Amino acid sequence: MSAILLPPNQPARFYRGGPAIARFRGVPVGDDHFPEDWVGSTTAVLGGDGSGPTVLPDGRRLGDAIAAAPGAFLGVEHVRAFGADPAVLVKLLDAGERLPVHAHPDRAFARRVLGAPYGKAEAWLILAAEGDGATLRLGFREDVDAATLAGWVARQDIPAMLGALHELRVAPGDSIYVPPGTPHAIGEGVLMVEVQEPSDLGVMLEWSRFGLEPDAATMGLGFDAALGCVRRTAVGPDELASWRRRSAVAPETRPGARAAVPPEAERFFRAEWLRPDPAVALEPSFAILVAVEGAGRLETEAGGLDVAAGETVLVAHAAGAAELSGDVAAIRCLPPLPEEAGA
């Protein structure tokens, strides 16, 4: 079982985007309401038409292929810890407009209130940030009481919500970790790789401008219950800084690899920037590789694959130890380690 080059997999969403993904992948630009590419996905769009899961080049759904050979895809230790579940979701995301202010529940809320196994911690690995609007809003600058937040949402007081959040200017090579519950909004002109828990759960604090109904905005819970997942305490400057990494100065984990997320994120997922010099070694693991710049060669025990900017690759555990070489930069996304199961 060698590395598998994955085709685009873009479910329809309620916000605009998609052309930047097409340009990144080098394919024709299509409809502008397909702003996400779900890479190596076994996750379905919440309340949707079943879209979201990846279809492999041989025509099988990835989830079916994993169910038939979980140890080969994921590794025996991973299966013991997480079952036949990759336990991670990777996306390309193109913000063709500013996304709404929203938040995602943590695992405790998801399990208690929704009966879902995962919340949605996430991290944003920035590929492009173009235009004056290409900023991120993340975390309240001061504590917000429950009545104030509920009032903003009921009145759809968007200036108040945006004004209460930190605003960050970002550049390619930045990574921002977003703990579950943290309110946030992604600005127009940002293209990213998003690595996250494998769920599509979210509460849209800003909903009317996007044509959403309150039921859809709250996962069917209503705002009284749904707002309980939102962190209302302030995010201080030191905490905010701890969530940010820059590829050029991030900790090097081994030659050619740098950690893209802080240690607190690694119980949910792992990610690293790869820049071969002249090669970087990759341990056996289920992984999603996104080639960001240049071109190179991925050699595994099961075979090799040429990779170039814009391509996405699924590497199964059974591919064995691997090596990435060439004039290429890539992002590698991985599930949490087995010892993090139940965290």
97 in any annotated domain = yes
Which of the listed residues 245, 272, 297 is the one where a domain comes to its end? 245
| pLDDT per position as a tens digit, 153-190 | 999 999 999 999 999 999 999 999 999 999 999 999 99
Does 48 score more than 90 pLDDT?
no
pLDDT higher than threshold 80 for residue 1? no
Contacts of 285 (CB under 8 A, 6+ apart): 75, 315, 317, 334, 335
- Closest to 324 measured CA to CA, from 288, 274, 258, 272: 274
What mean pLDDT comes out for the span 137-147?
98
CB 97 within 8 A of CB 89: no
Residue 343 has pLDDT above 80, yes or no: no
Tell me which residue range forms the domain holding 191. Answer: 4-245
Query: Are residues 9 and 99 both part of a single domain?
Result: yes
- Percent of all residues in the chain with a pLDDT value above 70, rounded to a whole number: 100
Q: Is 193 contained in some domain?
A: yes
- Residue 151 domain flag: yes
Kindly tell me if the per-residue pLDDT of 276 is higher than 90.
yes
User: Within this chain, do residues 202 and 331 fall inside the same structural domain, yes or no?
Assistant: no
* CA dihedral for 257, 260, 264, 266, sign (positive or negative): negative
Please list, in sequence order, all residues whose beta carbon lies within 8 angstroms of the beta carbon of residue 36, skipping any fewer than 6 positions away: 10, 11, 13, 17, 21, 91, 92, 93, 94
Q: Identify whether residues 43 and 139 lie together within a single domain.
A: yes
- In 10 A of CB 125, how many CB atoms? 25
Last residue of a domain, one of 181, 212, 245: 245
Kindly state whether residues 240 and 274 are assigned to the same domain: no
Is pLDDT at 342 greater than 80 in this prediction? Answer: no
For residue 236, pLDDT over 80 is answered with: yes
- Reduced to 3 states (helix: H, G, I; strand: E, B; else coil), residue 330 is strand
65 and 139 inside one domain: yes
CB 85 within 8 A of CB 31: no
Q: 273 near 304, Cβ under 8 Å?
A: no
Q: What percent of the chain has pLDDT over 90?
A: 94
Write the CA distances from 194 to 79, 133, 172, 234, 320, integer angstroms.
24, 19, 13, 24, 25
Residue 311 has pLDDT above 80, yes or no: yes
What is the DSSP secondary structure assignment for residue 46, as one 8-state letter? T
Sheet of strand 184-186, all strands in order from the earlier edge strand to the far edge: 165-169, 135-140, 184-186, 102-103, 203-204
Number of structural domains the chain divides into = 2
What are the tens digits of pLDDT across the range 90-104?
999 999 999 999 999
> Last residue of a domain, which of 212, 245, 278?
245
In a domain, 251, yes or no: no
Strands (E), the chain: 4-6, 36-39, 89-94, 102-103, 122-129, 135-140, 165-169, 174-178, 184-186, 190-196, 203-204, 244-246, 252-254, 257-259, 270-274, 279-282, 287-300, 303-308, 312-315, 322-334
- For residue 198, give the CATH number of its domain: 2.60.120.10
